[in-house]
Amino acid sequence: MNQPINSALLILKVRKRLGLTQQEFAYRLGVALPTISRWENKIHKPSPLALDKVEALLVNMGDEGKAIRDKYFRKSTLIK
């Protein structure tokens, strides 16, 4: 059964798994650099649109992204 998680951990794990800096990850998601820092430091949570983009990145990663996706997403929605 999936356990509740925080979005900060999800963002950090995905960014690290992709081997991207915060700046590169921000560019990939179409957000400003400070936004990634705010998400990772639990100052703000990603919007549903941003989470959709993160999930799309995981889908594009294939099997490597599947493990993270299965852990953090259920039916295309972040577990709350």
Give the start-to-end residue ranges of the domains of the chain.
Answer: 7-74
pLDDT tens digit sequence for 27-53: 999 999 999 999 999 999 999 899 999
Give the CATH class of 7-74.
mainly alpha
Name the DSSP letter for residue 32: -
Rounded mean pLDDT, 15-37: 95
| Mean of per-residue pLDDT scores for the chain | 86
pLDDT at residue 54, rounded to an integer = 93
Residue 73's beta-bridge partner residues? 78
Which two structure tokens, joined as six digits, stand for 42? 């639990």
